[in-house]
Structure 1
Amino acid sequence: MLQPLPQEQTIMAETDRISQLPADIVDNILGFLPIEDAAKTVVLSTNWGGIWPNLTQLCFAPHFFRRLKNRYSTKHAAFYVITKILLQHQGPTIRKFEVDYYDSKTETVKSRSYDIDQWLLLVTRKGVEEIKLHLGSQEYRLPDCVLSCRTLKSLDLDSLLVRPLRSTYMLPNVASLRFRSINLDFFSDLVLDVPSLENLSCEECYEMFHLHIIAKSICSLNIRYCSGRELDSFIPVNMDLRSIRTLHLDSHSLQNFVDDCSRTGLPLRSPALNVEDLNLSDFCFKEETQASPLIRLLHICPNLIKLHISLWCPVTWRCDSTYDDEKDIPSVAEVDRRLPELRSVAQRHKRLVTLKLILFKGFWCEMLFIKELLAALPSLQEVIIGHSNDMDSKRKCEVMERVLHFPRASTEANVTCI
């Protein structure tokens, strides 16, 4: 039998260096892969034989459920596989556990609730630090072991039912908390004490004002598309807003946020907040209910460095209209009256260097808004304007050419149209 030459052995050893990686590094690499790909990868090296039953990151993505459903023609197959993987897990720790499942029919989740309960009970007993649970169904009720897990650092819940059994929960290590499509009505008598919380996100949640969180060091707050019967307190109580550096709101939440700042006694004058990165979705400067709150928010956020706005306008407006064409329209006069106040507050933002506006359609109110910001912001360096796909190429070129010739307060402002 031919033996490899010494030079060939050296090359083989060098090309197989990945097999010699420490187990914790391999475990971390496999954590970025879909669970089925991680299972295939560990068989590539005899040195990795003990890694699979000890994986610390278990992520079951949507394609995992689709693949098993197509293979076995049943939605329950994936649930059996997850249960088997967890029961065969031999390691002392599962740091990350993700289940991202969606199906238009809720019966599957409802019928497998016991299985999901057992998954969560097992991972919380193994020191889980990150849980992501997306079930696409309000039929599943979150077990108490999750909100009682003191090792958690990140909790992401989407489309499920949360009915706490106790009035107070302490999550001492949670730094990131995300709720999406959660009915917070059941939180009315609940207090979440999250002293290490840095990032809080609530999207498409119902009864937002029922969220009672004790958090003193939040850096990032995202509130979008939340609703409720009343908004006596839109901002979660017991939250120190002055620690927030990144703020993301939709146009509806914008007004509620500013109004609630006023109700809670936060002075609507500079400097009340320390926000550096402001992101607004579905914003229309023509609407008084959006323009005025934005101006008020800019007043109390004098330390902005980045401003990112996703524009919105009703589809019924004429896309080819310009400011000069419509001097006689009353709405133009209304917008004109707001421009001096916008200009006044924008001129005081001497730290704001990045402005990004997307979904730009070229409407006259958008043109006025952009023109005023460029003419007022004194320290701009980077300006990105992204057009909407609804604009045809000819209209896009005409409008963008006009924008590029708008006067700029900052000589360093570089405008890029994409």
Structure 2
Amino acid sequence: MRLLARGALRGWPALRLRAARRSSIRAKSSAITAWGAFVGQLATTKTAIEHDYSMETHASAAPVQISPQQLFETTPDTDIRISAVGAGMRHALIASEIVEDSEPRTLLAGFGLNRCYQLGRPWSNRSAANSGISMITEISGSVSQISCGREHSAMVVRQRDGQQRVFVCGSNAFGQLGLTREKKAEDERVLQRSALCDLEELDKILDAGEIPVKVQCGLDHTVILTSHNRVLAMGWGADGQLGTGYTADSDRPVRVCGLDSVAIVDISSTTDFTLALSVDNRVFYWGNAEYGQCMVGRKIDKVLVPMQVPFGKGRIKSIAAGGCHALLLTEAGQVYICGYGALGLGSDCVSVLEPTLLEGLEHIDMIYASTDRCLAIGRNCNVYSWGLGNSLGRLGYGISAKNVFTPELLNICPTLIRSGLVALGNDISLIATPS
């Protein structure tokens, strides 16, 4: 795992700066709740200084409401159905179906950094680049799920002809978009970044009738789950992120090894490792494991092929891969955590090598993890946050740099939260609340 100096906890080793998380499921949304970087300027109550595009100024340290009509630049009475949200290192994407004059359109709104076109395309106005102002892109088809990495994004799109495809955009520096980086002529440049495009290389590896159903962006790699319960990966591989048995990068999708006889039903990745859940309720792990987040009772530098994680404390409902930590949610609503950081176990317990119960959380329905923080949502829609804070207010408590070592309740109570309409990025959090 590559280090970006942090020094967040005095006397602790610098934590690896990694990010991104999740999305999907269609629902009509009346509002979007958000906090963290770039959020202030989009809030219904402005918190930012006009024309000041600095990330610090536009951060909101507490949850605020974002109007979908304002975000998508529509009239107040426009029917907007949010279908997916995603948040990465310092950018976010929100997909919706807009109904105007009885004609539905699919729009993608992005905000945050856009150096590599991770919002979907280059800024049309040079002065707005990296400003955090929202960008709107129209898509042919409906977006069912989004994931964002450090500087790239991926999404599952059901096109109007009925085909289901993966679309990608952003940095391709390590091949994480699955777009070939080979020079075919002396005057041809290696493809380092791209606007939103179809991942055509996927067609060469999928079987007849097989379609992509979920994508996950690590920092610089991408993982894809298919309808045939197979897992594919591409991009940065130095820590074993691709699960091929090697540490080489790949600029096209490759099959993750060792899972041929295993039917995978869910995947999670936000940094340099991946968790996978099988139909028979087994958990598999591959990638960086130097902090013991692999849940096997010891630290391992790199796990190059999927390794089964022993867990005998109930049936697993959900998995969440963070930076130096991993979470498991049981069907009984209990949350287990493993790894290193502000784990939710108190300030005196910052490292555990086996899944450990978070006793303060009960009746949990959803879990999310990012670089060095976590989110849990209860069956009553209470939202809990914990982890390392920063000047962008990423934890949502209104206190910029506070570290939270045990789960605390956020001042937000959506009437309904659907899995997939929540995104936890490194510095941005999104919750779409259906009407």
Q: TM-score if structure 2 supplies the norm length?
A: 0.30
Q: Which has the higher strand share?
A: 2
**Higher relative contact order, structure no. (Cα contacts within 8 Å, ≥ 6 residues apart):** 2
Q: Which has the higher helix share?
A: 1
